[in-house]
A and B are shown apart, each in its own frame.
Chain A
Amino acid sequence: MADDDAALVRGSLAGDERCMRALVERFQGMVFGLCYRMLGRREDAEDVAQEVFLRVFRSLHRWDAGRPFKPWLLTIAANRCRTVLSNRSRSPVASEFVEQSAVAAATTDDDLAEELQLAIETLRDEYRTCFVLFYENELNCAQISEIMNCPPGTVKTWLHRARQKLADHLRRRGVVPDADYQLHRI
């Protein structure tokens, strides 16, 4: 797969539009998923994902062919998302509204997923990025540490703190799905 990535990049650099199209098709789900999980708004995620690919194409000549392409791409995407979040934080905070709103009855799977997404949006940027990269993009702590440019131990700490805060948030919101440790007895 890594060789395929390098071949697609080389083809894109050579001007082969099919390679560029294949590159986007291969990674768009990953990039859009990251943006969507990070930003929480589909419209923002679409715009940022497009921006990420445009930036990637403009910067392909700077990619080190000796290193895997996927972390490099995710680094750009994560940084773009964090920039958007940073800019968004200067405007009225949506998470406060979420905290103050009435507890919704999360009865369906969609409700539970929505509650978790709202909870994620209340996390610090580092926790959020770490959590999304770990669960959405299924990277391990070492890979996340490279993307976020921090030690793996820090990533582990952030990951567990993110999980703890998310669980506390869901509990405060009254979201208690039918799953507790008793289920593991089965």
Chain B
Amino acid sequence: MPTINCTEFERVLKESVEQRVPADSPGLREHADRCLNCRTQWERYAVLERVIPLWKSRGTEFDLTGVVLSRFAADLPADAMHTSQRPLAGDLRAGHRVDRESSIGVPVRPRPSSRKGGAAVLAVVVVVLFLAIRPLFVPMQPGVQRQPAVAVVQPRQLKGVTPRVPESAGLTELFRNAGSAYSDLAREAANAAGDAVVFVPSTVATQPESRPASASQKGSTWAEEWQRPFEPIGHDVSDAIDFLFDKMKTL
């Protein structure tokens, strides 16, 4: 009678399970009679071999066909419902996904089509953002004038209203210089006038002849003397104003 050891017994028992063959041989029986541990293993094996067929025989018949097809059809777009086959085929080939909330309460993964749609939207957003910020990163080449990103709207001309001059670096500098000169001249004129008022004798103010006379008036006395220092100031101020208006006309 062949005899086996515990290791061989366990190997044979496992192989019988994996190959779905009954574990029954004189060698196994003989070893199980002598070895308590191996007998326990065999009893476990026998219990399961007895119960598993009962467990398998429990009815699992269930007709899913109608439910599955109706659910799949219900998941189709509404415009595909009036035909029976072709829209279904199109949706299958396209991998139509209609993961509405699952009836079993299981979290539903994002649909592949939704993921593709999201990726497409993301790609469009990235492209738009790139095009929007691209001019900021393009180096300016000397001698090349870049077209403005937006159209320049010409201001509407109004009668009697001096048009606003578009700003540029040169014009700004020019106006700043002219403005400064005009301001300086005006300040000097004000100071000179103040000094003149201070030094006018009180007797002059009471006489009608104290009003400044024009330069063409020959023979005028002290008034001409007071008027003479103011002439360059008035001349320069008028020159500055004329300069400003001339520049504005050329714009």
Chain A residues in contact with chain B, CB under 8 A?
12-17, 20-21, 24-25, 28-29, 31-33, 36-37, 44-51, 53-54, 57-62, 80, 83-84, 87, 109-110, 112-113, 115-117, 135-136, 140-141, 156, 159-160, 163-164, 166-168, 170-171, 175-181, 183-185
Asked if B96 and A185 sit within 8 Å, CB to CB, the answer is: no
Shortest C-beta distance, B194 to chain A (Å), equals 92
6 contacts between A and B (CB under 8 A): A15-B86, A29-B61, A54-B98, A116-B55, A141-B18, A163-B48
- With A47-B104, A177-B51 as given contacts, are A12 and B92 in contact (CB-CB < 8 Å)? yes
Q: Is the interface of A mostly helix, strand, loop or mixed?
A: helix
**B51 lies within 8 A of A115 (CB):** yes
**B231 CB–A CB distance under 8 Å:** no
Q: Which residues of chain A are near B54, meaning CB under 8 Å?
A: 109-110, 112-113, 116
A14, A83, A156: the one contacting B18 at CB < 8 Å is: A156
- Contact, CB under 8 Å: B95 / A177: no
User: Are B95 and A58 in contact, CB atoms less than 8 angstroms apart?
Assistant: yes
B37-91: which have CB < 8 Å to A?
A: 39, 42-52, 54-58, 60-65, 67-69, 71-72, 75, 84-90
Residues of A within 8 A of B18 (CB): 140-141, 156, 159
Of A58, A135, A181, the most chain B CB neighbours within 10 A belong to: A181
Tell which of A14, A50, A80, A156 touches B68, judged by Cβ atoms closer than 8 Å. Answer: A50
Residues on A with beta carbons closer than 8 Å to the beta carbon of B49: 179
**Interchain nearest-CB distance for B186 vs A (Å):** 84
Is A181 a contact of B88 with CB atoms below 8 Å? no
Measured between alpha carbons, how far is A87 from B109 in the docked complex, in Å? 14
In the complex, the answer to whether A179 meets B85 with C-beta atoms within 8 Å is no
Residue pair A54, B29 in contact (C-beta under 8 Å) = no
Asked if A59 contacts B63 (CB within 8 A), the reply is no
* Cα separation A87 to B14 with both chains bound (whole Å): 33
Chain B residues whose CB sits within 8 angstroms of the CB of A178 once the complex forms? 50
Q: In the complex, how many angstroms separate the beta carbon of B79 from the nearest chain A beta carbon?
A: 16
Select one of B28, B85, B95 contacting A61, CB under 8 A: B95
CB distance from A48 to the nearest CB of B (A): 6
Q: Which of B39, B86, B102 contacts A51 (CB 8 A)?
A: B102
Smallest Cβ distance from B91 to chain A, in angstroms? 8
| B60 partner, pick from A15, A29, A58, A171, beta carbons under 8 A | A29
A126 to chain B, nearest CB (A): 17
Q: Does B117 contact A (CB under 8 A)?
A: no
Residues of B within 8 A of A17 (CB): 69, 84-85, 88
B15 to chain A, nearest CB (A): 10
* Min CB gap A22→B, angstroms: 9
Is there contact, CB below 8 Å, between B104 and A48? yes
Of all A-B residue pairs in the complex, the 8 with the closest CB atoms, nearest first, are A15-B89, A179-B50, A47-B104, A167-B44, A181-B42, A33-B60, A15-B85, A184-B24
List the B residue with the shortest CB-CB distance to A33.
B60
Determine if B104 and A57 form an interchain contact, defined as CB atoms under 8 angstroms apart: no
Question: Most B CB atoms within 10 A — which of A12, A58, A178?
Answer: A58
